[in-house]
Chain A
Amino acid sequence: MTELTAQQRVLIARHPQRPNLDDYINGLFTGFFQQRGDRLCGEDAAILGGVALYHGRPVTVIGTRKGRTLEENLERRFGMPNPEGYRKALRLMAQAEKFRRPVLTFIDTAGAYPGLEAEARGQGEAIARCLLELSRLTVPVIALVTGEANSGGALALAVANRVLMLENAVYAILSPEGFASILWKDAARHGEACELMKLTAPDLMRLGVIDEIVPEPDGGAHLARAIAIHQADLAISRHLGELTKLSGGTLAADRQRKFRAMGAAAPGEEGP
């Protein structure tokens, strides 16, 4: 297959028939029990979470959830979480810690929802708290970027020991449209932004931001969902097997070291 451009990958990553969180849950787990609500004020359908069996062992599953129909997408704000979603995720992380379950996260979101209510209830604080709590969990954390993953709204679920990414998924500071609009005041230049942002899996692998690329069927995961999910299964189970051998303290230290090294001064290098 010829190498796709970054812009083509963005289109594939957003394809409406691409496997979504429900497909991964059906394909990878048995006995999924959905947990709802943040125990503070609400439930957010844009983040789905719960407990399930993965190859016979209990895990905590948390993911952003896009819908396929318009109705589903309206209810889930196209997979853009509110603070209640992140606070539900925090509650589930704390339970994973208590019951010593690994945390598996699935990320496909245009970002946290930029709404008035979301701001009133502390979107920034909710995301910040996720970053802090994820960084210090003493159970294995594996994140899989399945579609598009933008901004702090995606990172909130991606502070993991291993960050895996589907071949045609994209992961960036924000959407190429938002990027072009902030930098050049012209959202129409998003194509140009795609190529400059280094948002594809191979780019991010080179930058050391992700740990493994999960191969997709030719043309993209939407053409053969079962194959894509099987590939994800192979990668997740291999990494989980490695991580479950480590102690809790090592897992937290390993995760913090990994992110500590991003954009750090190289040894012996002088600053400006």
Chain B
Amino acid sequence: MNNIFAKRRDRLLAMKAARDSYIPREQRVTCPACGGQFVRREVSQALWVCPGCGHHWPVGAYYRLSTLLDSGSFRELNGKLPPADPLQFPGYPAKLAEARRKTGLDEAAVTALGTIGGHRCVIGVLDGRFLMGSMSAAVGEKLTQAIETACRRRLPLILVSASGGARMQEGILSLMQMAKTAGALARLDRRGLLYISVLTHPTTGGVTASFASLGDIILAEPGALIGFAGPRVIQQTIGETLPEGFQRAEYQQEHGFVDAVVPRGQLRDTLALLLRLHEKGGRHD
């Protein structure tokens, strides 16, 4: 019986992952970074990492989950969301509707319960296709509910970020999600639970300046742009060109803000190891 449900959940996740519009449909794929041409299957087997240069294609939330979670373990958390368009911003409802239609997502974050290498966890993934993964009140609420689920069930938490920062059309309420998620993480911290933050391309603005920077462990995908202010704004402020590799994952690791830069192909095993290292019963208490 359990097995049937597991299979069904697996198919559901596979179906949703297959809808990921980031992923090229053509049989021959060109890498945007090195220009190399590859057969689609070759790139998809490498989890959309370029076999030539190691460029990481952006991927959607369900696809990401399908690469991390154990088969059949995905259970989406569908909480109640706040009303959209709190400021009655002109044109915003139409933009939201379009993003929903294009991506098949209800908002820019997917949260779930699952296992990685047999270890149970709560996981939240931002999706850059949905209005640049920006933080709306609904995104803040979904993530906060996920953090609270981790608190209630005493499970480790993993958040995978991909976001341009705040959702402009939700103004000050978007800003307040930074305080809301940070407060929820304070409660998680107090309970002695593990939080792993995974930074993917791009992680900037209010997401960097809140939950994404607060992990006990912080991992990043190679080449990901990670920062508070965007490169364009900084360039305007200082009036000089920025150095090569500025704000990339490797730069952040060198500057002490990332524990490890982990290629996508190793992320699942790295997370499984970290969950194992923090497992209850393995602690000296």
Contact = CB atoms under 8 A, between A and B. Distances in A.
Interface of A: 112-116, 118-125, 127-129, 131-132, 135-136, 151-152, 155-156, 158-159, 171-174, 178-179, 182-183, 196-199, 204, 207, 209, 255-256, 259-260, 262-266, 269-272
A119 B172 contact: no
Contacts of A136: 183, 186, 190
Contacts of A197: 87, 171-172
B242 to A, nearest CB: 7
6 contacts: A119-B228, A123-B228, A125-B209, A151-B206, A271-B82, A271-B106
A172 B169 CA distance: 12
Nearest to B174: A173
Contacts of A199: 171-172
B229 A122 contact: no
Contact of B178 (A131, A182, A198): A131
B223 interface: no
A152 B255 contact: no
A264 B141 contact: yes
B179 A135 contact: yes
A132 B183 CA distance: 6
Given A209-B176, A260-B184, A152 B228 contact: yes
B90 interface: yes
A171 to B, nearest CB: 7
Given A123-B229, A260-B180, A116 B82 contact: no
B175 A132 contact: no
A268 to B, nearest CB: 8
A195 B156 CA distance: 43
B228 A112 contact: yes
Contact of A124 (B140, B183, B187, B227): B227
A118 B247 CA distance: 11
B225 to A, nearest CB: 11
Given A125-B213, A207-B173, A269 B83 contact: yes
A116 B237 CA distance: 9
B86 A265 contact: no
B267 interface: no
Q: Which 10 A-B pairs have the closest CB atoms?
A: A263-B137, A271-B81, A114-B229, A124-B208, A131-B182, A265-B80, A124-B228, A128-B213, A152-B209, A127-B209
Interface in B232-276: 233-234, 237-238, 240, 242, 246-247, 255-257
B84 A272 contact: yes
B176 A262 contact: yes
B213 to A, nearest CB: 4
A42 B44 CA distance: 47
B138 interface: yes
Contacts of A128: 178, 182, 208-214
B159 interface: no
Contacts of A182: 168
B172 A172 contact: yes
Contacts of B89: 196
A265 to B, nearest CB: 4
Given A115-B237, A135-B186, A271-B106, A159 B179 contact: yes
B219 interface: no
Contact of A259 (B107, B137, B179): B179
B171 A155 contact: no
B224 interface: no
B177 interface: yes
A124 B178 CA distance: 11
A266 B83 contact: yes
Nearest to B80: A265
Contacts of B168: 173, 179, 182-183
B185 interface: yes
A270 B81 CA distance: 7
Contacts of A152: 175, 178, 205-206, 209-210, 228
Interface in B136-188: 136-138, 140-141, 144, 166, 168-180, 182-187
